[in-house]
């Protein structure tokens, strides 16, 4: 898995925007609006990839938050750091190499712990959610943005054909990596828990008030849960 993502890192952003028709940017903005940051808080973006969700949170807070992006793919993090330098935000958005199932942070540290299109790539969904909940502060939120399968016909049939037959061919043509990363995508989405099933896993990880909302006719879904306990005071307030 790590090698596969390392091989496509240089084309990752381009392909995300191309294959989603740029809608992935909108999905991240909606995610931030559903779990908005407060000035002075600290945010952890798990499976950050090249950092797009981390940067979306930074923009939403006008830079008045501290964000760490964690990922287990060195090549992705190299690109994320380069993007942070180009945008002049490296002092506020930093990146480190870490396994989502064994996060190197103390419990209860972060006000928001988020992940975009990465939870399904964690070997154990339950372990990944448990770690996200562990490092989340009492009163803080755990946020998951993930692909899902549409249910409305005829869009379900049309999108299913594109997702299984067209998207992997386009992705593989541009990625040109040895492993079939874009064939893996529809397979992983089909096997990943969705809707109430994932919401229940979040509750079992210790989160409460879990809600979820479908986007773009169900192509993606945002899940938000809160860690029980008294809310934290924004740092620097």
pLDDT at 59 over 80: yes
**Cα–Cα distance, 157 to 152 (Å, whole number):** 9
Q: What does the block give as tokens for 127?
A: 């372990």
Q: Which of 42, 55, 220, 50 is closest to 145 using CA atoms?
A: 220
The C-alpha atoms of residue 54 and residue 28 are separated, in whole angstroms, by: 10
* The pLDDT value given to residue 145: 96
Instruction: Flag whether 130 is in a domain.
Output: yes
Tokens of 156: 């379900």
Residue 195 · residue 127 · CB < 8 Å: no
Q: Are 55 and 83 in contact (CB under 8 A)?
A: yes
Q: Decide if 168 is inside a domain.
A: no
Q: Which sign, positive or negative, has the C-alpha torsion 34, 40, 46, 51? A: positive
Q: DSSP letter for 59, please.
A: H
Residue given tokens 């923009």 in the structure block = 59
Range of the domain at 25: 2-150+192-227
Residues recorded for the chain: 237
Residue 219 has pLDDT above 60, yes or no: yes
For residues 96 and 170, the model is more confident at 96
With respect to residue 184, please indicate whether it lies within any of the assigned structural domains. no
CATH code, 64: 3.40.50.150
CB 100 within 8 A of CB 131: yes
199 lies in a domain? yes
Query: What pLDDT was estimated at residue 10?
Result: 56
Computed over its alpha carbons, how large is the radius of gyration of the chain? 17
Count up the domains in the chain and report the number.
Answer: 1
Token pair for residue 138? 């009492």
Q: Is residue 219 part of a domain?
A: yes
pLDDT of 132 > 60? The answer is: yes
Which residues, including other chains, have CB under 8 Å from residue 104's CB and lie 6 or more apart? 96, 98
- Whether residue 84 lies inside any domain: the answer is yes
Q: Flag whether 63 is in a domain.
A: yes
What the block records as the tokens of 161 is 């054909």
- The whole-number pLDDT of residue 234 equals 43
Residue 189's pLDDT is what? 79
Tokens for 85, please give them.
């330098």
In a domain, 122, yes or no: yes
The 10s digit of each residue's pLDDT in 165-189 is 887 777 666 666 554 655 666 777 7
């Amino acid at each position: 898995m790590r090698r596969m993502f390392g091989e496509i890192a240089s084309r990752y952003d381009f392909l995300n925007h191309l294959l989603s028709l740029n809608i992935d940017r909108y999905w991240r903005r909606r995610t931030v609006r559903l779990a908005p940051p407060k000035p002075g808080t600290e945010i952890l973006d798990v499976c950050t990839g090249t950092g797009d969700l981390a940067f979306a949170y930074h923009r939403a807070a006008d830079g008045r938050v501290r964000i760490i992006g964690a990922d287990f793919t060195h090549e992705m993090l190299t690109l994320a750091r380069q993007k942070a330098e180009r945008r002049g935000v490296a002092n506020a958005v930093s990146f480190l190499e870490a396994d989502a199932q064994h996060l190197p942070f103390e419990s209860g540290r972060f006000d928001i712990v988020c992940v975009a299109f990465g939870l399904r790539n964690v070997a154990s969904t339950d372990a990944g959610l448990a770690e996200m909940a562990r490092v989340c502060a009492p009163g803080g939120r755990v946020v998951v943005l993930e692909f899902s399968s549409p249910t409305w016909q005829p869009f379900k049939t049309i999108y299913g054909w594109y997702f299984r037959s067209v998207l992997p061919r386009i992705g593989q043509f541009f990625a040109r990596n040895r492993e079939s990363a874009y064939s893996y995508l529809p397979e992983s989405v089909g096997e990943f828990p969705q809707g109430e099933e994932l919401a229940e896993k979040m509750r079992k990880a210790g989160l409460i008030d879990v809600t979820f909302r479908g986007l773009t006719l169900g192509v993606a879904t945002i899940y938000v849960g809160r860690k029980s306990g008294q809310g934290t005071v924004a740092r620097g307030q």
